A and B are shown apart, each in its own frame.
Chain A
């Protein structure tokens, strides 16, 4: 997936996460994460964000995530949405596992 411009998804509401993605040429995924549950779940949230981006084929990006206790499914959805918006793409992959 080719990112074109900065985009975001999500809100600052409780149980949500606000994700901002900015395209970059190199340097891999740079992640700035803040979370209301950092101590207990910071490691897991970071892993989910990185995996989701990897799944989309995004290799370089500046990602800012402000988490308010979102569940993994919410995190994936917000990261996906922000990435598709940043890529101006609507080629959504609707998966049902």
Chain B
């Protein structure tokens, strides 16, 4: 280098400008070809065990996972089996949700490997065991928005994130699909994994599909990733996503869906440029079909659809009826394919979707159509515990979207078999009645008294509105009065509202 034209020490304010001092020499060059460098594999380590050792994980730490592989997930069981084998104890497992496939965790809980769980939902044998008092430390249930915010704010600090990815390059650019091929596993959006990757002390990507750099587009950028592990099996593609979520043929659900479309229209929330979200239940999905016809007939378009995205929504997007799709979680293969191919189908992370601390996307919703296990006469909604008191569901984005949307609509049959769905008091409050506006059943529509203007508009449009009490009475008239479920005193789970305050608890069921 030529002689310097300046004296470093003489530069005014130099201490505030450059904390690294004066340039001395550039790094040694690596002149291998791009193809040769791929062989070095960069962040790729030989095995899961090696990655765990490198991560510095220790007893008592918090490990995290995402649930974009749903019931096809093989990551959580694989990792926790390995952690057990390596002798770890007293770990907190913080997954964005859990499914029936995670029943093997029961043994790891009994052995003390996992002593606390944070999740959005739980089903199957693990949920039953927890309801029967498996764990001393209550399970913490959070909404998707609440968890995203807890991770981002540090309230839920993650030591090591183990994130399964259907594609990843050697530098850690990871995604829920791959534009490099047409036949690898897809999970679509990885919105719930993104805060974990960003905030965890150490982030490990586990993939079965190591692609060449750069893996674009990506859900998780290499700057958030420390290690990449290549395994044969990340999950069962059939359990990760089915081809397309089918429209219901159940006449009860269809009549509910038709009414729901009429209700949101009558309430004034279907106009040119409106926004919406549909839950994943049969009736809420079917509502999209009636809305579609309404939009075609009236020549109006939806500005954006949000949420868990299904093939129904992406079909309307491809038809030009929905301009933009914001996707935090893709529910089926058609939705994942749309994310892969359509410019205006955008992947978003959990805090962008539903954080309570900012003007998240849920706050821009005109309406949301949500399912429920039970609704009570104060409009409180339960989506977490069954009629027998056992955990069998997930909070998901229920309270986030109900609070955020201008109109929150609950769709559920009045009764399911002999189980009443409109009741005097729900088992577990997940979404408080104060943010629930309309309840639509196959046998009547009720409007929350705190939204009298909505009730007026529905009546003016010829939609009969009844009181929520009369729906509860009608349900009881059909099925009889259920005996109360018996619980023990032990609290097995704590339910957080979307701002991470405690809204309810779940107690151990009493089978004695």
Contact = CB atoms under 8 A, between A and B. Distances in A.
Interface of A: 14-15, 36-37, 39-44, 68-72
B419 interface: yes
Given A40-B482, A41-B482, A15 B388 contact: no
A69 B388 contact: no
Nearest to A72: B480
Interface string B470-510: 00000000111011011000000000000000000000000
A15 B418 contact: yes
B417 A40 contact: no
A40 B478 contact: no
A37 B389 CA distance: 11
12 contacts: A15-B418, A37-B418, A39-B486, A40-B387, A40-B483, A41-B480, A41-B482, A44-B480, A68-B417, A69-B416, A69-B419, A71-B478
Interface residues of B, number: 14
Contacts of B416: 69
Given A14-B417, A69-B416, 16 more contacts: A15-B418, A37-B388, A37-B482, A39-B388, A39-B389, A39-B483, A39-B486, A40-B419, A44-B480, A69-B417, A69-B419, A70-B418, A71-B418, A71-B478, A71-B479, A72-B480
Contacts of B419: 37, 40, 69
Nearest to B480: A44
Contacts of A72: 480
Contact of A69 (B418, B483, B485, B486): B418
Nearest to A44: B480
Contacts of A43: 483
Main SS at interface, chain B: loop
A14 B478 CA distance: 16
Given A69-B417, A69-B419, A37 B387 contact: yes
Contacts of A42: 483
A72 B485 CA distance: 20
A14 B479 CA distance: 14
B87 to A, nearest CB: 41
Contacts of B389: 39
Nearest to B390: A39
Contacts, number: 42
A14 B416 CA distance: 9
Interface string B367-390: 000000000000000000001110
B506 to A, nearest CB: 15
Contact of A36 (B417, B478, B479, B485): B417
A15 B389 CA distance: 20
A41 B486 contact: no
The 10 closest A-B pairs by CB, nearest first: A69-B417, A40-B482, A69-B418, A15-B417, A37-B418, A39-B388, A44-B480, A40-B483, A39-B485, A14-B417
A41 B417 CA distance: 12
A90 B218 CA distance: 72
B399 to A, nearest CB: 26
A51 B221 CA distance: 68
Contacts of A69: 416-419
B488 to A, nearest CB: 14
A41 B478 contact: no
A37 B415 CA distance: 13
A57 B76 CA distance: 59
B49 to A, nearest CB: 44
A40 to B, nearest CB: 4
B347 to A, nearest CB: 38
B353 to A, nearest CB: 35
Nearest to A69: B417
Scoring A39, A41, A68 by chain B CB atoms within 10 A of each residue's CB, the highest score goes to A39
Contacts of A68: 417
Nearest to A37: B418
Contacts of A44: 480, 483
Contacts of A70: 417-418
Contacts of B417: 14-15, 36-37, 68-70
Scoring A36, A37, A40, A70 by chain B CB atoms within 10 A of each residue's CB, the highest score goes to A40
Nearest to A43: B483
Interface string B410-443: 0000001111000000000000000000000000
A69 B482 CA distance: 12
A37 B390 CA distance: 12
Scoring B388, B417, B479, B482 by chain A CB atoms within 10 A of each residue's CB, the highest score goes to B417
A72 B419 CA distance: 13
A71 B417 CA distance: 8
A41 B418 contact: yes
Contacts of A71: 418, 478-479
Contacts of A15: 417-418
A80 B388 CA distance: 29
A72 B480 CA distance: 8
Scoring A36, A37, A42, A72 by chain B CB atoms within 10 A of each residue's CB, the highest score goes to A37
A44 B478 CA distance: 13
A43 B482 CA distance: 9
Scoring A14, A41, A68, A70 by chain B CB atoms within 10 A of each residue's CB, the highest score goes to A41
A29 B479 CA distance: 25
Nearest to A45: B418
